[in-house]
Each structure stands twice: as structure tokens, then as C-alpha cells.
Chains A and B, each alone.
Chain A
């Protein structure tokens, strides 16, 4: 298995501010992903973090709202910008080795509350 470290574990933020979440993975990981899990819901993929280039966003998620960086193979950040209460959710980073097995392991998550 891979070791995925994510921080902060939780935060309470004011409307209109931004929060950056950090994710550090061990060297076994080549792929990194960011998910959102809204209360009582399953996981929704926000984007695939690409090393040294723009992330690949899923439908419904845009770079202006969720800018993602991945400056090297083992580190990525997700920023939740101009937050509103609707952004209150758990944000999860995952990592894996990609094809062919596509196994992913998850960090502990960031529980975000926006007031």
C-alpha cells in the first residue's frame, strides 16, 4: 500500500476566503487525484493532478474554483477558492500507480466547514 499524508485535517473558514489543502504521497505513487465527499454522499472526482501541467478536471469542476498544482511526483495541492457554505465537505486526496491495476489509496481527508 501507499502512504498518503494530507493536511489540514479540518478547518473552519469564512465565506469568500480560500483554503489550500496539501497532499504528500510516497514514491510508489505515480497518479494523484482529488475527490469531494459531501455529507452522506459518495465520492466525486474533482480532478486528476498532473505533474508539471494543468490538472484534468471532471465535469462540473473548474480551475478557477479548484486550482490544483502538482510541482513534483509526490506533492499536490488543492485550493478551494472564494468559498461559500456549499463548499462545506470532505476533500480527499488519493494516490496510486495507475494502469493496469488502478489501485488508489486515500489520505485521511480534510473536513471543511464554511460559515
Chain B
């Protein structure tokens, strides 16, 4: 069974600090990795995606991928109260059929 594990929260960081969110996955065939932000009572919003090993930066957000270690992380620099949300890690895989699906982690609740 394909699994996506996220570090247990809640995670609390002071305003202006760096928030580090981690995720591991079990399917070595996974090729695409996503971070979604979900505010309470709202639907998930895509904030970052990464396909290649290394770092990908977008504003205050940096996604890091290490396929050998099956590890993906999200760094949020200069954390703001508006970053307070649940962050969901998602990984693609080939399902039992032919459709490609995303498997989601349980989420990490961040409070700034």
C-alpha cells in the first residue's frame, strides 16, 4: 500500500521564523510531489510542486526533494500569521487501474 507520512503536528513557529515541514513516501515509482495549503473550512490550494531532486524556490516557499531518501520537504521563510494552516503533502502514483492518482499525507497543522 502506497503511503505518505508527514511529521506529526501541530507545529508552532514565531512570526518571522522558518517553518520546516517534512514528508516521506513509500512508492519509489513516484515522480511528482506536491504541497497543498488548506485553511480551516476551505479546500486544498496548491502552493508548490517539484519533480526533480534538489530545491525549488517560489517566493518565501522552498520545496526540497531527495528521491534516494524518498523525502520531500517544504520550508517557509519569514513565516507570517497568514501561513497558519494545514499543509498537505501529496505524491503521485499509478493506481491499480491506469489512472494516475495522488496520495495525500495526513497533514501538518502550522501555527505562526
A residues sitting closer than 8 Å to B (CB atoms) are 1, 31, 33, 41-45, 48, 50, 56, 58-59, 90, 92, 98-109
Contact in complex: A92, B43 (CB < 8 Å): yes
> B102 contacts the other chain (Cβ, under 8 Å)?
yes
Closest B residue, CB atoms, query A110: B43
The smallest C-beta distance from A21 to any residue of chain B, in angstroms, reads 13
Number of interface residues of B (CB under 8 A): 26
What is the count of residue pairs linking A and B with beta-carbon distances less than 8 angstroms?
A: 62
Contact in complex: B97, A105 (CB < 8 Å): no
Contact in complex: A99, B105 (CB < 8 Å): no
Main secondary structure of the interface of A (DSSP, over half): loop
The residue that B43 contacts in the complex, of A41, A48, A98, A107, with Cβ under 8 A, is A107
Give the CA-CA distance A1 to B49 in the complex, in Å: 13
Contact in complex: B43, A58 (CB < 8 Å): no
Q: Specify which chain A residues have a CB less than 8 angstroms from the CB of B42 in the assembled complex.
A: 108-109
Given the known A-B contacts A42-B105, A56-B95, A103-B49, are A98 and B100 also in contact in the complex, defined by CB atoms under 8 Å? yes
The residue that B88 contacts in the complex, of A43, A44, A48, A103, with Cβ under 8 A, is A43
Contact in complex: B49, A42 (CB < 8 Å): no
The residue that A108 contacts in the complex, of B43, B88, B92, B104, with Cβ under 8 A, is B43
Q: Specify which chain A residues have a CB less than 8 angstroms from the CB of B99 in the assembled complex.
A: 31, 48, 50, 56
Contact in complex: A33, B101 (CB < 8 Å): yes
Contact in complex: B106, A42 (CB < 8 Å): yes
27 contacts between A and B (CB under 8 A): A1-B46, A42-B88, A42-B104, A42-B107, A43-B104, A45-B101, A45-B103, A48-B95, A48-B97, A50-B99, A56-B95, A58-B95, A90-B43, A92-B43, A92-B44, A100-B32, A102-B31, A102-B100, A103-B34, A103-B46, A104-B46, A105-B46, A106-B36, A106-B45, A108-B42, A108-B43, A109-B43
Q: Which of B68-112 contact A (CB under 8 A)?
A: 88, 90, 92, 95-97, 99-107
Given the known A-B contacts A45-B101, A48-B97, are A106 and B106 also in contact in the complex, defined by CB atoms under 8 Å? no
Contact in complex: B92, A102 (CB < 8 Å): yes
Q: Which of B17-42 contact A (CB under 8 A)?
A: 31-32, 34, 36, 42
